[in-house]
A and B are shown apart, each in its own frame.
Chain A
Amino acid sequence: MSRVTFFEVEVLDHKTKAQLCFLDKVEPHATIAEIKCLLHKCYPKWYPARQALKLDPKGKTLKDDEILENLPVGTTATMYFKDLGPQLGWTMVFLAEYMGPLFIYLLFYFRLPYIYNPKYTFTSSPYPVVPLACLCHSLHYIKRLIETIFVHRFSHSTMPLRSMMKNCLYYWGFAAWLAYYINHPLYTPPTYGNQQIHYALILFLLCEAGNFSINLALNNIKSDGDRSGRIPYPTRNPFTWLFFFVSCPNYTYQVGTWIGFTIMTQCVPVALFTLVGFVQMTIWARGRHNMYLRQFKDYPSLRMAIIPLFL
């Protein structure tokens, strides 16, 4: 008969090094997630999603699925705790981030009072491109909301409150700024008229369809693959053939959508929003691309991160 050696876990504050909690009789095969639950019992206000446990105060945070006995500690483990602050579920976050622009744009489209000169309140624009732009903008965010609810599966379950406030400010602020100009009584329609609007609309719709196809494809991989993920490959859907050339075609299509919208409305704030979005998405795409390269030895060498053959 073998005796099971229980572990003892001492949890210290990562800044003050004061002892917060001493857990004895911890099972050797307990996961970090279970230890977080035990800590939560001592401190009810620190629910597990808000806890970060580390072996070294300046080191990396331990993952929830790591097992106690596999860690480089003796039978008495010392861990450092950091409060990550209030957390929100990803779904809530995305809903807030996307509903904002959807409604804010409409406030400007219908020219609610106090926004423009009073004589223009509740009037509408004589140019057909203005309601078209409203339709496209709304369609874009409705699609994103649908994807958030039905399609996306998130790897982390929460996000810090501060990040969410920052993101909401960014999305809502930009939406207000570009909606203000597109729906302004003194708006000037595109220089090349209907031709410019039509081609831009086609680009917009194609890229929206493309982005949707990629999100579906990525979701299918996550649902039947294991947690560490597989290399995404093109499927029979022609939109997914962009996977031959880039690691993150969802971001490529997203940039394409906004370029289409910029050309359609010929509005500098939209161009700036597209630019900032492009920079941010490139950073994310490069990160994901490098992760794939590290993880998979046989990763296709033709693929770039976000722009085929270029970036």
Chain B
Amino acid sequence: MASGEEDGALDEKENNNKKRTKSALATAWLTFYNITMTAGWLVLAVAMAKFYIQRGTHRGLYRSISKTLKFFQTFALLEVRMVRTSVIVTGVQVSSRIFMVWFVTNSIKQIQNEESVVLFLVVWTVTEITRYSFYTFSLINHLPFFIKWARYNMFIVMYPLGVAGELMTIYAALPYVQKSGMFSLRLPNKYNVSFDYYIFLIIVMLSYIPLFPQLYFHMLRQRRRVLHGEVIVEKDD
């Protein structure tokens, strides 16, 4: 009987150990992921700055960084299941990025030299470097205040600027899409369905109207909760 109890206790210890190793592995992977992403976007930022300083123009800038951009932005798909924010919010953000990179700038070559592309690239780079370094430092429990400040304040300006860049880029792409009829399926066909990429892009642009305010206010609420909470603690001290 006594050995039975010991067995039970041993089992429990094993389970606890298993849980601890699991969460240690998860933390290790998360830390590695966030460090990698911070590094990746830093590389992008440096490459963009170097290009502009050396050439003095933004023409050809997109071409020079497109491979790195595509790699790191697509890698972010993993985040949808990882982050604590709701799957829907992360899902919408990541899919809109993937859509821009693969289905707009990558496919429609004529708009790659537009200024609006540089605009959203700069915004994305700044936002992602801040965000991933925030996660990295949080995981190692050594979060410098200025990173926390940056994460919860810079979006106020960056978000609208990014949206403006994205919308202007899609708008610039419209005439080329209409002329080439790319990604479209016309009637008649044996599946009795049609798809017009031009109209689809217009619908995407319109969908920013309900979606953007929701994401923006979500970030504002988070900001109030995080920074407001901090103020209360200070008062108690």
- Closest chain B CB from A245 CB (angstroms): 33
| Docked complex Cα distance between A269 and B189 (Å) | 13
- Specify which of A182, A184, A266, A269 is in contact with B190 (CB 8 Å cutoff): A266
Minimal Cβ-Cβ distance residue in A for B194: A181
For B172-192 the 0/1 string (1 means CB < 8 A from A) is 000000000000000111111
- Specify which of A188, A191, A265, A269 is in contact with B188 (CB 8 Å cutoff): A188
Is B78 engaged at the interface, CB distance under 8 Å to the other chain? no
Is A268 engaged at the interface, CB distance under 8 Å to the other chain? yes
**Size category, B interface:** under 10
Is B193 engaged at the interface, CB distance under 8 Å to the other chain? yes
Is A187 engaged at the interface, CB distance under 8 Å to the other chain? yes
Say whether A188 contacts B189, CB under 8 Å: yes
Is A206 engaged at the interface, CB distance under 8 Å to the other chain? no
Q: Chain B binding site: helix, strand, loop or mixed by DSSP?
A: loop
Chain B residues within an 8 Å CB radius of A187 = 187-188, 192
Give the number of residue pairs across the A-B interface with Cβ within 8 Å.
Answer: 29
Is A30 engaged at the interface, CB distance under 8 Å to the other chain? no
Minimal Cβ-Cβ distance residue in B for A180: B194
Chain A residues within an 8 Å CB radius of B190 = 188, 191, 266
Minimal Cβ-Cβ distance residue in A for B186: A186
- Tally chain A residues at the interface, Cβ within 8 Å: 12
Chain B residues within an 8 Å CB radius of A184 = 187, 192
Is A99 engaged at the interface, CB distance under 8 Å to the other chain? no
Chain A residues within an 8 Å CB radius of B188 = 186-188
Interface positions, chain B 156-209, Cβ under 8 Å from A, are 187-194
Say whether A186 contacts B191, CB under 8 Å: no
Interface positions, chain A 188-245, Cβ under 8 Å from B, are 188, 191
- Closest chain A CB from B114 CB (angstroms): 34
| Docked complex Cα distance between A182 and B187 (Å) | 12
- Closest chain A CB from B196 CB (angstroms): 13
- Closest chain B CB from A130 CB (angstroms): 11
Q: Which residues of A contact B (CB under 8 A)?
A: 181-182, 184, 186-188, 191, 265-269
Q: Which residues of B contact A (CB under 8 A)?
A: 187-194
Q: Enumerate 25 A-B pairs (CB-CB under 8 Å) in ascending A order.
A: A181-B187, A181-B193, A181-B194, A182-B192, A184-B187, A184-B192, A186-B187, A186-B188, A187-B187, A187-B192, A188-B188, A188-B189, A188-B190, A188-B192, A191-B190, A266-B190, A266-B191, A266-B192, A267-B191, A267-B192, A267-B193, A268-B191, A268-B192, A268-B193, A269-B193
The 10 closest A-B pairs by CB, nearest first: A268-B193, A186-B188, A267-B192, A186-B187, A268-B191, A181-B192, A188-B188, A188-B190, A188-B192, A187-B192
